[in-house]
A and B are shown apart, each in its own frame.
Chain A
């Protein structure tokens, strides 16, 4: 908190009764707009991704006057703003903040809010609203924001009294970041922003219906430790909750001590180093064949901060048929939602792993690990090298260039799966993607948000896109350029909506209905330059290194690298949607073809 906001809060924290204070000092009391800004400062907000408009103009006016302690980034579309806030939150572990106007400003945020809800990302979205008296009258730029976002928020507030504003801000940030994190919307009618009240940011708040869990039930944890001790073929199934709670190190320590192999979900990537021999990589629809074999044969699945998503389980009745299941999760509703489990442990993953850590003994499972290794040899994760430019080779080259230390933000579709399969993540919070909602257009603004959050750390932020998704929020390139962010933006251009094309080829007799993008694709290099970025083009595997050299030489602005990859490349292995995990399709080439 800045010193100016401290003194203001002391001034305003008058000892007079509120009504008397209001009567005597009305002109000097801060407006709702100022109270909002002071509250955000008090909350420690570092950066706000926003876009002004009529309903929030008072906030922007106060920002101009006060010069608050946080930075405001003017995004070019509110959806980009919400994804930037998500990327910032995922990369830093802090709450992302968005500020937009009423009506279209709010509805443009809907996709980002839904995305944050599905992926448990803490963001607070402040939306302007028409004056209280005009609500319901179809006023200009009116939208029932609370109604529209009800089923995609963890909670939402419509502020009806300026005296509730500061406490509401505190509640919003508290709810967003605690428990299972998620998006919170605060709707701010214009008259509330103009009204005046004393400002005091509360030290504490009470929310009677909201409680968060801590440690797990010790009896359940003990039972779990015994199950782990007795299992012959145990397997950790690790999700994003492990990273959110900060439990990755503990997990790694337990897995190594008891020699338990680890598979992760898409959001679990980075919770366990993928270069560790115990890692079997990602599981599920496009997971490794050996991870899915391990799931189908394990006798004890230890689910940690994961939610048994349908992209993980496929046909649920046929999944992990021999496994007893331990499920550690912070959200009671996640436990036994899709698969009834044998040993539920409700608690903060990090704290429960702490408890388990002291109970799980050294152990070894040589036969089980040998079996997994045999599966790994039988069908490794690899790709063909025949002189054609393939996306996998580019991702591998970026991995080598960044030594696995970059933060990789992928979009949705084939690029997302190759980005998940071939980067080999070793650090928590180094992989960011839209997993639950599958939002195309996520990567570029989310990478921008991550880059803002990681300024000064020296960490590379790499945005991986297809030629379809990148166009959905391309406008944010200008924002990244204006702020001199050294983003590395990779476009894997196969001239198609690749993942849909893959399904059309495999399951719809090659009827490529409306997936060909070449006629409408821009010249990406020229587009990059038009936005003030560096633009590079590569269509030959021999030139990958040269392109990366040129890209990494630029440090003062974003670099867009267009890689013209072959159209036909598909993501393998693959469990077709709704099929049993045992029916996984493996790559059509044999390991002998691999260099």
Chain B
């Protein structure tokens, strides 16, 4: 591979447009993108979206799916990573699926993101008070309690969920179930 200075202007343009590194051993600038996708509410549609990521070799960090405002449609939130060229391909290929109605990259738009997490901790009655003090800071709710366990629900941006789970690592963490992110633009758009 050539040094950056040896590229023709056109090669330089293509590298930059693709978000590829200009240096022989350099790594491409990889970004995390949050996409919301509206598809026909069929099993086939969900399969096709999931399949697309393995078919095309795209990364898929998380996917959530549920009924949209119109019950004949499903709404997905996908989190994917890649350089600019790959993210461009993800968007276009998603759009190319026949069942896809809308694709929206909200990453750089003003949007809200939430993730729900259930956490189960093994604990006896003496430990309960200190655990409850910690989870209270995160405004987590106790959703179940048994003589030897506590189950919490916490909702928030992914960073908050990460921090919450991180804090509980000191205790006897039994199970963690995360929903993956859901996202929505703040302004009116998308689902007309």
A322 touches B8 (CB 8 A): yes
With A151-B55, A333-B96 already in contact, the answer to whether A322 and B101 are too (CB < 8 A) is no
Counting CB contacts under 8 A, is A324 at the interface?
yes
Taking a contact as CB atoms closer than 8 A, the residue among A207, A324, A333 that contacts B89 in the complex is A333
A210 touches B98 (CB 8 A): yes
What are the nearest 3 A-B pairs in CB distance? Answer: A340-B17, A333-B92, A151-B55
Please indicate the chain B residues that have their CB under 8 angstroms from the CB of A337 in the complex.
Answer: 89
**Can you give 19 contacting A-B residue pairs, CB < 8 Å?**
A150-B47, A151-B51, A151-B54, A175-B98, A208-B101, A209-B39, A209-B98, A209-B99, A210-B98, A324-B10, A331-B96, A333-B95, A336-B17, A336-B85, A337-B89, A339-B14, A340-B13, A340-B18, A340-B85
Per-position binary interface string of chain A over residues 309-342, scored 1 when its CB falls under 8 Å from any chain B CB and 0 otherwise = 0000000010011111000000111011101101
B96 touches A322 (CB 8 A): no
Counting CB contacts under 8 A, is B33 at the interface?
no
B101 touches A147 (CB 8 A): no
Counting CB contacts under 8 A, is B97 at the interface?
yes
Q: Which A positions have Cβ atoms within 8 angstroms of B?
A: 146-147, 150-151, 154-156, 158, 175, 207-210, 317, 320-324, 331-333, 335-337, 339-340, 342
For the complex, what is the distance from the CA of A209 to the CA of B51, rounded to whole Å? 18
For the complex, what is the distance from the CA of A433 to the CA of B101, rounded to whole Å? 35
Counting CB contacts under 8 A, is B93 at the interface?
yes
For the complex, what is the distance from the CA of A146 to the CA of B46, rounded to whole Å? 13
Please indicate the chain A residues that have their CB under 8 angstroms from the CB of B11 in the complex.
Answer: 317, 321
Please indicate the chain A residues that have their CB under 8 angstroms from the CB of B93 in the complex.
Answer: 333
CB-nearest residue of chain B relative to A321?
B8
For the complex, what is the distance from the CA of A317 to the CA of B23, rounded to whole Å? 13
Counting CB contacts under 8 A, is B100 at the interface?
yes
Please indicate the chain A residues that have their CB under 8 angstroms from the CB of B44 in the complex.
Answer: 146, 156, 158
Please indicate the chain A residues that have their CB under 8 angstroms from the CB of B1 in the complex.
Answer: 317
**Nearest CB of chain B from residue A172's CB, rounded to whole Å:** 11
CB-nearest residue of chain B relative to A324?
B10
B100 touches A209 (CB 8 A): yes
Taking a contact as CB atoms closer than 8 A, the residue among B40, B55, B89, B97 that contacts A208 in the complex is B40
- Interface positions, chain B 1-19, Cβ under 8 Å from A, are 1, 8, 10-11, 13-15, 17-18
CB-nearest residue of chain B relative to A158?
B44
Please indicate the chain A residues that have their CB under 8 angstroms from the CB of B52 in the complex.
Answer: 151
Taking a contact as CB atoms closer than 8 A, the residue among B15, B40, B54, B55 that contacts A209 in the complex is B40
Counting CB contacts under 8 A, is B48 at the interface?
yes
Tally B residues with Cβ within 8 Å of A: 30
**Nearest CB of chain B from residue A169's CB, rounded to whole Å:** 15
Taking a contact as CB atoms closer than 8 A, the residue among B8, B15, B88 that contacts A336 in the complex is B88
Please indicate the chain B residues that have their CB under 8 angstroms from the CB of A317 in the complex.
Answer: 1, 11, 15
CB-nearest residue of chain B relative to A316?
B14
Per-position binary interface string of chain B over residues 7-45, scored 1 when its CB falls under 8 Å from any chain A CB and 0 otherwise = 010110111011000000000000000000001100010
**Nearest CB of chain A from residue B157's CB, rounded to whole Å:** 30
**Nearest CB of chain B from residue A31's CB, rounded to whole Å:** 25
With A322-B8, A336-B17 already in contact, the answer to whether A155 and B92 are too (CB < 8 A) is no
A332 touches B96 (CB 8 A): yes
A332 touches B92 (CB 8 A): yes
For the complex, what is the distance from the CA of A342 to the CA of B13, rounded to whole Å? 9
A322 touches B98 (CB 8 A): no
**Nearest CB of chain B from residue A303's CB, rounded to whole Å:** 13
**Nearest CB of chain A from residue B24's CB, rounded to whole Å:** 11
CB-nearest residue of chain B relative to A207?
B98
CB-nearest residue of chain A relative to B72?
A208
Choose among A175, A207, A208, A342 the residue with the greatest number of B CB atoms under 10 Å from its CB: A208
For the complex, what is the distance from the CA of A197 to the CA of B99, rounded to whole Å? 26
**Nearest CB of chain A from residue B70's CB, rounded to whole Å:** 11
CB-nearest residue of chain B relative to A301?
B10
For the complex, what is the distance from the CA of A146 to the CA of B51, rounded to whole Å? 12
Please indicate the chain B residues that have their CB under 8 angstroms from the CB of A321 in the complex.
Answer: 8, 10-11
CB-nearest residue of chain B relative to A320?
B10
**Nearest CB of chain B from residue A159's CB, rounded to whole Å:** 12
With A209-B40, A332-B92 already in contact, the answer to whether A154 and B14 are too (CB < 8 A) is no
For the complex, what is the distance from the CA of A331 to the CA of B96, rounded to whole Å? 8
A150 touches B48 (CB 8 A): yes
For the complex, what is the distance from the CA of A210 to the CA of B13, rounded to whole Å? 33
Per-position binary interface string of chain B over residues 101-144, scored 1 when its CB falls under 8 Å from any chain A CB and 0 otherwise = 10000000000000000000000000000000000000000000
For the complex, what is the distance from the CA of A321 to the CA of B54, rounded to whole Å? 32
Choose among A150, A210, A331, A333 the residue with the greatest number of B CB atoms under 10 Å from its CB: A333
**Nearest CB of chain B from residue A342's CB, rounded to whole Å:** 7
For the complex, what is the distance from the CA of A158 to the CA of B8, rounded to whole Å? 51
For the complex, what is the distance from the CA of A26 to the CA of B96, rounded to whole Å? 41
For the complex, what is the distance from the CA of A521 to the CA of B58, rounded to whole Å? 43
For the complex, what is the distance from the CA of A146 to the CA of B48, rounded to whole Å? 10
Please indicate the chain B residues that have their CB under 8 angstroms from the CB of A146 in the complex.
Answer: 44
**Nearest CB of chain B from residue A134's CB, rounded to whole Å:** 18
**Nearest CB of chain B from residue A39's CB, rounded to whole Å:** 19
**Nearest CB of chain A from residue B26's CB, rounded to whole Å:** 13
- Interface positions, chain B 167-185, Cβ under 8 Å from A, are none
For the complex, what is the distance from the CA of A340 to the CA of B18, rounded to whole Å? 7
Please indicate the chain A residues that have their CB under 8 angstroms from the CB of B15 in the complex.
Answer: 317
CB-nearest residue of chain B relative to A299?
B10
Please indicate the chain B residues that have their CB under 8 angstroms from the CB of A342 in the complex.
Answer: 13
Choose among B39, B55, B97, B98 the residue with the greatest number of A CB atoms under 10 Å from its CB: B98
20 further A-B pairs in the complex, CB-CB below 8 A; given A147-B47, A209-B39, A332-B92 = A151-B52, A154-B98, A156-B44, A158-B44, A175-B98, A209-B40, A209-B97, A209-B100, A317-B1, A317-B11, A321-B8, A332-B95, A333-B89, A335-B92, A336-B18, A336-B88, A337-B89, A340-B13, A340-B85, A342-B13
